[in-house]
Chains A and B, each alone.
Chain A
Amino acid sequence: MKELSLHILDVAENGISAGADIVRIEVDEARAANRLKIVIADNGRGMPDDILRNVTNPFYTTRTTRRVGLGLSLLESAARRCDGSMRIESAKGKGTRIIAEFKYDHIDRAPLGDIVGTMTTLIMGNPDVDFEYYHQIDGRQFSVNTRDVKEESGSSSVTDMAVFQLLYKKLHNGLKQLKSGER
């Protein structure tokens, strides 16, 4: 994967296939500590221990359409290659939480990339799921919640183009502000 935001998209889709209706994505850029942390948490059905043990093995998958499962293995190797790590907390029936940490200035760390594209793809492709996005750069925060956006626009569906455009604007401007603020 060329961007970390693609890993986020991929892992978040896992949570949705596990029946989640709330997915929370956190990006924490702590440059003073030279650390980038990504958390993807869902309230899906969670994983039993035997699956959890095997989940980062690329030759293990629960799917039936192919015999390899690469999503989490790729994220783990991306984190490890940047002097970081990935851990998974999962409770059956409660959901799963993936925490990936990277050394911020590691030469092999892929850029975060088009996070707005990731979020709009997730939100539009899964209109029945609520998303919470939380981004922190050196202690300053920005967050978006699809429930609030739906309420604000008075529409119950994100597939309504007006809602989508509002969401896009919020994400785009919010992140721009967050990034420009610290300079």
Chain B
Amino acid sequence: MSKLTIDDLKKIKEKTAKETSLRHGEANIKLMVHMGTCGIAAGGRDVMNALMDELAKSDRQDIRVVASGCMGMCSSEPNVTVEVQGEEPIIYQHMDANKMRQVFKRHVLLGEVQTDFALAKI
């Protein structure tokens, strides 16, 4: 086994802290807005802003929003992945601000997967 440096240890610590915060109720739900060049050109920013607006209104501390990169499905952008702890992640396709608000209110807050907008479950 190669030698661990202090930097390696720091990285492991950060990674574990991130993962455990997701597990231990701090962030039960994670939403990823895919923002590669394709996602941005297709309107990912509006989706992200609608999502943040809904999040602010909901006042929930256990929901995390992150911007992630392109996942190779550029034709179905803007894509949003919803990961609810203990359930299969759902990828939504062709999102816009209104669909995002619906997914947030129905899927994220109430647990009803919006199959009409879904691309796949992983």
Contact = CB atoms under 8 A, between A and B. Distances in A.
B52 A164 contact: yes
A146 to B, nearest CB: 15
Contact of A121 (B35, B41, B72): B35
A125 B48 contact: yes
Contacts, number: 68
Interface stretch (B63-71, B88-96, B102-110): B63-71
Contact of A125 (B36, B56, B65, B70): B65
Contacts of A9: 35, 40, 45
A10 B67 contact: no
Contacts of B65: 124-125, 159
B33 interface: yes
B34 to A, nearest CB: 10
A74 B67 contact: no
A78 B58 CA distance: 39
Interface string B7-43: 0000000000000000000000000010111101100
Contacts of A69: 37
A121 B70 contact: no
B69 A6 contact: no
Contacts of A120: 49, 52
B52 A66 contact: no
> Of residues A10, A125, A126, which shows the largest number of chain B Cβ atoms within 10 Å of its Cβ?
A125
A121 to B, nearest CB: 5
Nearest to A126: B67
Contact of B48 (A63, A70, A71, A124): A124
A118 interface: yes
B69 A10 contact: no
B52 A124 contact: yes
A13 B49 contact: no
B87 interface: no
B56 A121 contact: no
Closest 4 CB pairs of A and B: A125-B67, A65-B72, A71-B37, A121-B48
Given A74-B37, A125-B33, 7 more contacts: A9-B45, A13-B40, A65-B72, A120-B49, A124-B67, A125-B48, A161-B59
Interface of B: 33, 35-38, 40-41, 45-46, 48-49, 52, 55-56, 59, 64-67, 69-72, 74
Interface of A: 1, 6, 9-10, 13, 17, 63, 65-66, 69-71, 74, 114, 117-118, 120-122, 124-126, 159, 161, 164-165
